[in-house]
């Protein structure tokens, strides 16, 4: 059941599989794991034209003998804050229910041009505000490894769907933790690219200072295939101008099994918890460190104190940006859109009550205030601090657990997440499975993920590290709740 893009394309080239057959299989999996069975509750909307798109691709392959792009026929789970011209985009909120944008987001268009089939729009924490993946559109998405836990977030619908193999590649967005959190909680790989490598045009914003999109997949290789497609300059997103000249023709050559050999990796000690609740994660990370060394990397302890909780409160500008940046998106919607401002969202009351405090707090905040400007100064200082740590110790990357404790139980909030380090600096990060922590509620354990963070536009180095670690460790395991269909 752990299907990859390469396996699918091999079967298509040999005539053993058609795009229609593949889509039909995944529609059956959606029915089995969403409508029946474990009820993961990850899918907001299934593309009603998916089979038509598959038929078109099959006809093109039969006529030309060639796949129609690097993602020909591949079913995509797309987070429902990414605009699609043929399906509603709600950001998980009933306040936008039924609204179909005029155009695809830049990355959605790139995916389709590469031959991908957007099979479904996935659940998210409403407006991507927090990390438990609960929305007024769909309710709570559950973790397929432990139904009493959340799947991380805010891209938890994508994470849960990909973990259950009801899609082959997934797309999430990330403002603080939101690609790496579900990757960690669902035993997946996820790439948060350098700010400016991937366009945000047509994505419902949370904080354009920190927002980016990226892949969430079962393998590093499929993440890299997806990154190749969605990365690049977009004239409508000024930040992507920074990627020009810094993006290789393809990231695929950096999938090196020996990619750890000779690498110097800093272990950020302050991102490991010291209390009993942190022990399950620490135990998993201790074993994972051995795999880095087995691959030929040198681990260097970094004692510098960085407080991730302080960074979320005093360095990240997510909530400060929210009103201004979301209003900018909403104001451009057609006159028939249900809402055109955050104020109208609150007045309409069509949102999950769990985000009300965030919405009302955001109304009191804004960009350009003295508090906001001080946070931007701290972001610049943190960028320099990380660069200096890496320079002083001659490091290729830093590593640490994505979360200092296990993904939270449903009804609780995520605690001690470390992903803010790269989101508040704009640096790239890759999350990969580190292992599983035993738990009575989890048949094969609760997934734990680690992060590899590097300098701006150092994705090639991070891919070498993450892929080599993945190949040595082989830690990914599918959830018992989602077996292969007979």
CATH code of the domain covering residue 102: 3.90.1300.10
Burial class (CB in 10 A: 0-12, 13-18, 19+), 30: buried
pLDDT at 486: 41
- DSSP, res 409: B
In sequence order, the β-bridge partners of residue 214 are 172
Residue 484 belongs to a domain: no
pTM to 2 decimal places: 0.98
Parent domain of 313: 5-473
Q: How is 85-122 classified by DSSP, letter by letter?
A: TTB---TT-GGGTT---SS--HHHHHHHHTT-EEEEEE
Residue 480 belongs to a domain: no
Angle between helices 220-230 and 5-13 (to 10 degrees): 80
Residue 479 belongs to a domain: no
Catalytic (active-site) positions: 79, 154, 178
- CB contact burial 366-391 (16+ within 10 A = b; e otherwise): ebeeeebeebbebbeebbeebeebbe
Q: Which residues contact 413 (CB under 8 A, 6 or more apart)?
A: 130, 131, 132
Rounded Cα gap, residues 302 and 266, in angstroms: 6
How many CB atoms lie under 10 A from the CB of residue 363? 12
pLDDT at 483: 78
pLDDT at 303: 97
pLDDT at 1: 58
> Do residues 228 and 114 make contact, with C-beta atoms less than 8 angstroms apart?
no
Residue 428 belongs to a domain: yes
Structurally, the chain folds into a number of domains equal to 1
pLDDT at 45: 98
Residue 340 belongs to a domain: yes
pLDDT at 485: 57
Rounded Cα gap, residues 482 and 147, in angstroms: 12
Residue 256 belongs to a domain: yes
Residue 323 belongs to a domain: yes
For residue 439, give the 3-state DSSP assignment: strand
- Per residue of the chain (486 residues), give pLDDT as tens: 589 999 999 999 999 999 999 999 999 999 999 877 789 999 999 999 999 999 999 999 999 999 999 999 999 999 999 999 999 999 999 999 999 999 999 999 999 999 999 999 999 999 999 999 999 999 999 999 999 999 999 999 999 999 999 999 999 999 999 999 999 999 999 999 999 999 999 999 999 999 999 999 999 999 999 999 999 999 999 999 999 999 999 999 999 999 999 999 999 999 999 999 999 999 999 999 999 999 999 999 999 999 999 999 999 999 999 999 999 999 999 999 999 999 999 999 999 999 999 999 999 999 999 999 999 999 999 999 999 999 999 999 999 999 999 999 999 999 999 999 999 999 999 999 999 999 999 999 999 999 999 999 999 999 999 999 999 999 999 999 887 654
Residue 109 belongs to a domain: yes
């Amino acid at each position: 059941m752990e299907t990859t893009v390469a396996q699918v394309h091999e079967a298509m080239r040999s005539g053993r599989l058609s795009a229609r057959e593949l889509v039909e299989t995944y529609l059956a999996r959606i029915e089995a794991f969403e409508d029946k069975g474990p009820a993961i509750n990850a899918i907001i909307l299934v593309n009603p034209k998916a089979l038509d798109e598959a038929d078109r691709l099959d006809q093109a392959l039969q006529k030309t003998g060639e796949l129609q792009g690097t993602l020909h026929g591949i079913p995509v789970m797309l987070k429902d804050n990414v605009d699609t011209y043929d399906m509603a985009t709600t950001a998980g909120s009933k306040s936008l229910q039924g609204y179909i944008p005029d155009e695809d987001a830049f990355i959605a268009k790139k995916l389709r041009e590469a031959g991908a089939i957007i099979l479904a729009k996935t659940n998210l924490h409403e407006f991507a505000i927090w990390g438990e993946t609960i929305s007024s559109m769909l309710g709570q998405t559950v973790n397929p490894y432990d139904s009493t836990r959340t799947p991380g977030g805010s891209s938890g619908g994508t994470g849960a769907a990909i973990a259950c193999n009801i899609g082959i590649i997934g797309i999430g967005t990330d403002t603080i933790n939101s690609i790496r959190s579900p990757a960690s909680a669902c035993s997946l790989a996820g790439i948060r690219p350098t700010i400016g490598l991937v366009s945000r045009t047509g994505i419902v914003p949370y904080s354009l200072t920190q927002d980016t999109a990226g892949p969430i997949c079962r393998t590093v290789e499929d993440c890299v295939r997806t990154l190749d497609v969605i990365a690049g300059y977009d004239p409508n997103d000024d930040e992507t101008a920074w990627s020009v000249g810094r993006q290789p023709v393809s990231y695929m050559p950096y999938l090196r099994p020996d990619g750890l050999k000779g690498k110097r990796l800093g272990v950020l000690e302050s991102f490991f918890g010291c209390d009993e609740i942190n022990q399950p994660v620490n135990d998993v990370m201790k074993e994972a460190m051995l795999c880095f060394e087995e691959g030929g990397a040198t681990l260097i302890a970094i004692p510098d104190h960085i407080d991730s909780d302080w960074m979320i409160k005093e360095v990240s500008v997510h909530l400060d940006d929210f009103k201004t940046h979301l209003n900018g998106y909403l104001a451009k919607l057609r006159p028939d859109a249900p809402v055109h401002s955050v104020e109208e969202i609150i007045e309409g009351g069509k949102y999950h009550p769990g985000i009300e405090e965030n919405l009302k707090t955001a109304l009191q905040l804004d960009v350009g205030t003295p508090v906001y400007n001080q946070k931007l100064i701290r972001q610049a200082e943190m960028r320099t601090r990380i660069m200096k740590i890496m320079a002083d110790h001659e490091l290729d990357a830093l590593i640490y657990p994505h979360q200092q404790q296990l993904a939270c139980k449903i009804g609780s909030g995520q605690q001690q997440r470390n992903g803010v380090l790269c989101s508040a600096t704009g640096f790239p990060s890759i999350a990969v499975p580190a292992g599983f922590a035993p738990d009575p509620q989890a048949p094969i354990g609760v997934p734990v993920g680690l992060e590899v963070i590097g300098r701006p536009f150092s994705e090639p180095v991070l891919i070498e590290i993450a892929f080599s670690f993945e190949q040595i460790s082989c830690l990914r395991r599918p959830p018992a709740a989602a077996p292969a269909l007979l």
